[in-house]
């Protein structure tokens, strides 16, 4: 009995530590920019903020992140928001945003996961200001890619056949992404006849990309003379991503997921070091992609764990978690969040009395009260799947929402 009482006292003291070191907020709906003032101290020396989410289908995650980005843009000078969405789709939509409505900007850039009422204010901000939208994924995020329109809009004499070839690559790639994706989603092997058909189209498209790279090289001097070399780099990177996607579309699911995170990591490094080397950048992705020091037993590392030390040193990794309510799967199916077990990360955070809370542990020293941050602690991935992490090794801080609900999709 005495041992049980000691353990319970220790648990209660840890819960008190969380309450004492957290910052609480009453609401997300009516939150104002000044309510995030505490982040100015936490993020003052950081150039890159990684914003995770413990599940894509959560209205409150979308709303909180949109509000946070508004604060970071207006108060801290962050000028780039990079989504877990297609690189070419997001860049070209941002380039043409003055010609698009807010809904069109969303439709033609990001995955449908985030086309919600809760993110409308964010895309309104992107459209009306110099906040730049980017993507870092090599997967197609929409079948309405404006990249050919981008090519037509820049002040370079790009051959019509070049643009038509890009359109063909996009159309055929999206078709195969859907066809092969059906088998991957159900974890079934792609039938041999379909694999052979894909291999034929794949080789044709890879040959076209090789030809496009050659034609692009012939135009490099023109890009340089007109001081448009950044556009040259964009086109070059997009073609490289298309090649990589075609190379790995047919591999087994585990290999594909591993390779995808590596490509996304490379794209983020490129964005931070070459495309926007002097800007402060926000990265929007799932928690499981942003963990900064994580490796599975199968040697899988998420993109956050593949960053160079320089990027890591200038980064703040922010996880988002929830306690109860309903969320949506990627295809919109609604499901119930499971109750987090005692001594899970969500359980400790739930001792805060406010509906929304923030805990920064980027500079916390380990002691007997916060040991759960520095040792293996349970989390519920997407609110359902048990996963052990060492929180302080994977993140620098946490936003926690007690009650969540599914997004309102547009």
Domain contains 102: no
- What DSSP letter does each residue of 326-337 carry, written as one string? EEE-TTS-EEEP
Which of the four pLDDT bands, split at 50, 70 and 90, describes residue 5? low
Q: Return the SS3 of 82.
A: strand
Residue entry with tokens 């996607």: 245
Which of the four pLDDT bands, split at 50, 70 and 90, describes residue 9? confident
Domain contains 84: no
pLDDT at 24 > cutoff 80: yes
Task: Give alpha helix (H) positions in 96-225.
Answer: 102-107, 120-128, 147-153, 160-185, 192-218, 220-225
Q: What is d(CA 270, CA 264) in angstroms, rounded to the nearest whole number?
A: 10
pLDDT at 106 > cutoff 90: yes
Q: Return the SS3 of 23.
A: strand
Which of the four pLDDT bands, split at 50, 70 and 90, describes residue 104? very high
> Using N-to-C axis directions, what is the helix angle for 192-218 and 229-248, rounded to 10°?
160
Q: What is d(CA 228, CA 54) in angstroms, rounded to the nearest whole number?
A: 39
pLDDT tens string 240-286 = 999 999 999 999 888 999 999 999 999 999 999 999 999 999 999 99
pLDDT tens string 160-200 = 999 999 999 999 999 999 999 888 888 888 999 999 999 99
pLDDT tens string 58-87 = 999 999 999 999 999 999 999 999 999 999
Domain contains 202: yes
CA distances from 42 to 15, 284, 340, 358 (A): 22, 18, 28, 11
Locate 180 and state its tokens. 């092969």
Please state the length of the chain: 410
Domain contains 236: yes
For residue 164, give its domain range: 157-253
Q: Return the SS3 of 174.
A: helix
Domain contains 163: yes
Domain contains 268: no
Number of Cβ within 10 Å of residue 203's Cβ equals 11
Domain contains 181: yes
pLDDT tens string 35-50 = 999 999 999 999 999 9
pLDDT at 188: 85
Domain contains 206: yes
pLDDT at 2 > cutoff 80: no
Q: What is d(CA 219, CA 156) in angstroms, rounded to the nearest whole number?
A: 8
- Provide the number of structural domains found in the chain: 1
């Amino acid at each position: 009995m005495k041992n049980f009482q000691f353990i319970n006292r220790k648990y209660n003291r840890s819960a008190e530590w969380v309450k004492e070191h957290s910052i609480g907020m009453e609401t997300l709906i009516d939150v104002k920019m000044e309510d995030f003032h505490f982040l100015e101290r936490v993020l003052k020396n950081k150039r890159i903020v990684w914003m995770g989410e413990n599940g894509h289908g959560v209205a409150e995650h979308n709303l909180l992140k949109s509000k946070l980005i508004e604060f970071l843009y207006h108060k801290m000078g962050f000028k780039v928001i990079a989504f877990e969405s297609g690189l070419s789709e997001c860049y070209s939509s941002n380039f043409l945003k003055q010609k698009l409505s807010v809904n069109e900007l969303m439709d033609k850039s990001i995955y449908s996961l985030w086309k919600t009422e809760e993110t409308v204010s964010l895309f309104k901000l992107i459209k009306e200001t110099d906040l730049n939208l980017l993507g870092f994924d090599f997967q197609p995020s929409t079948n309405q890619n404006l990249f050919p329109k981008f090519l037509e809009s820049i002040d370079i004499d790009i051959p019509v056949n070049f643009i038509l070839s890009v359109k063909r690559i996009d159309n055929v790639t999206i078709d195969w992404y859907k066809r092969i994706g059906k088998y991957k989603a159900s974890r079934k092997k792609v039938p041999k006849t379909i694999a052979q058909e894909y291999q034929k189209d794949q080789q044709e498209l890879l040959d076209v990309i090789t030809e496009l790279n050659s034609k692009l090289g012939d135009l490099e001097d023109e890009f340089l003379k007109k001081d448009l070399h950044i556009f040259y780099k964009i086109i070059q990177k997009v073609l490289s991503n298309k090649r990589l996607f075609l190379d790995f579309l047919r591999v087994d699911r585990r290999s594909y997921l591993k390779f995808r995170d590596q490509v996304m990591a490379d794209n983020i490094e490129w964005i931070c070091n070459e495309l926007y080397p002097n800007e402060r950048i926000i990265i929007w992705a799932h928690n499981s992609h942003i963990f900064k020091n994580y490796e599975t037993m199968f040697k899988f590392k998420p993109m956050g764990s593949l960053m160079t030390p320089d990027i890591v040193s200038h980064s703040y990794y922010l996880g988002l978690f929830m306690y109860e309510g309903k969320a949506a799967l990627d295809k919109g199916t609604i499901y119930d969040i499971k109750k987090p077990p005692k001594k899970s990360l969500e359980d400790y955070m739930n001792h805060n009395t406010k509906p929304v809370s923030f805990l920064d542990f980027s500079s916390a020293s380990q002691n007997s009260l916060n040991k759960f941050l520095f040792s293996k602690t349970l989390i519920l991935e997407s609110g359902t799947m048990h996963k052990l992490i060492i929180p302080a090794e994977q993140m620098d801080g946490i936003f926690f929402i007690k009650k969540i609900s599914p997004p309102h999709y547009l």
